[in-house]
């Protein structure tokens, strides 16, 4: 049965191809964001492994049998010195950054204030004084171009209105009647006519 054996071999080769790990061509259709996530995860694992290795090396520093305490402390200092220097550098760099940042802020504030002073151009009181020469004669006083507001007139009118409002209704009626009587021409007193001959009143002349 040679044909059956060939078929089996062909099937086994095909199955082995499917079971093989994917090549670079097969992973090319993966999205870029997913690739970045995979790389980030791999990097995190490497960092964790390195930190574990460092911890293991620090824990391995032990006192050798027969070693003096002074020798062990020196060896421990030599082993820990790089980490101590690194921590000190990080602390000083952070302090320097904050110091530089504050200095930059101060410089910016000073520059802003200086710019404002230049824009405003503040002068002394002496600069606003009129410089009059000796013997100079003034021809006329300064003319006012602005018309003054009629404040006094308005105040008088308002005070009159207040007084009128304070009067009661009876007083208002009396004042109104008096005004009407004065305005009526029939109520006015006629002046007596004088005679042209004797210069006396007409009533007495007859």
pLDDT tens for the chain, 206 residues: list them. Answer: 455 555 666 666 666 655 666 565 555 566 676 677 777 777 777 766 666 555 555 456 677 787 777 777 777 777 777 777 777 777 666 677 777 888 888 888 888 888 877 776 655 555 556 667 777 776 667 676 666 666 555 555 566 666 666 666 667 778 888 888 877 666 555 555 565 656 555 544 44
Distance CA 13, CA 7 (A): 10
Evaluate if pTM is beyond 0.85: no
Structure tokens at 119: 């824009």
Q: Which of these, 35, 34, 76, lies nearest to 58 by C-alpha position?
A: 76
Measured in whole angstroms, how far is the alpha carbon of residue 22 from the centre of its chain? 57
Query: What pLDDT is attached to residue 150?
Result: 60
Give the per-residue pLDDT at 20: 64
* Backbone φ and ψ of 147, nearest 5°: -80, 130
The per-residue pLDDT for 195 is 58
Rounded distance between C-alpha atoms, residue 35 and residue 144, angstroms: 83
Under 8 Å between Cβ of 72 and 63? yes
Inter-residue contact 161 to 168 (CB < 8 Å):
no
> Which residue has tokens 């040679």?
2
User: Which pLDDT score, from 0 to 100, does residue 192 have?
Assistant: 54
Q: What is the pLDDT of residues 37-78, one digit of tens each?
A: 777 777 777 766 666 555 555 456 677 787 777 777 777 777
- Long-range contacts formed by 38-43: CB under 8 A, 24+ apart: none
pLDDT, tens digit (0-9, with 9 covering 90-100), for 139-152:
667 676 666 666 55
**Are the CB atoms for 201 and 193 separated by under 8 Å?**
yes
């Amino acid at each position: 049965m040679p044909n059956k054996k060939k078929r089996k071999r062909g099937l086994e080769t095909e199955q082995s191809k499917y079971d093989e790990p994917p090549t670079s061509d097969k992973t090319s259709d993966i999205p870029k964001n997913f690739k970045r996530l995979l790389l980030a995860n791999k990097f995190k694992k490497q960092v964790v492994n390195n930190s574990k290795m460092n911890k293991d090396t620090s824990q391995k520093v032990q006192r050798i049998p027969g070693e003096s305490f002074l020798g062990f402390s020196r060896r421990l200092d030599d082993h820990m010195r790089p980490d101590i220097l690194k921590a000190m550098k990080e602390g000083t760099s952070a302090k320097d950054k904050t110091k530089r940042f504050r200095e930059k802020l101060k410089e910016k504030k000073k520059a802003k204030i200086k710019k404002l002073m230049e824009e405003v151009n503040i002068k002394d009181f002496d600069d606003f004084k009129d410089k009059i020469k000796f013997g100079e004669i003034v021809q006329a006083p300064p003319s006012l171009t602005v018309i003054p507001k009629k404040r006094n007139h308005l105040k008088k009118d308002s005070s009159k209105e207040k007084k009128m409002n304070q009067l009661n209704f009876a007083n208002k009626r009396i004042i109104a009647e008096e005004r009407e009587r004065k305005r009526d021409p029939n109520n006015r007193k006629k002046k007596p006519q004088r005679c042209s001959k004797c210069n006396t009143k007409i009533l007495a002349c007859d």
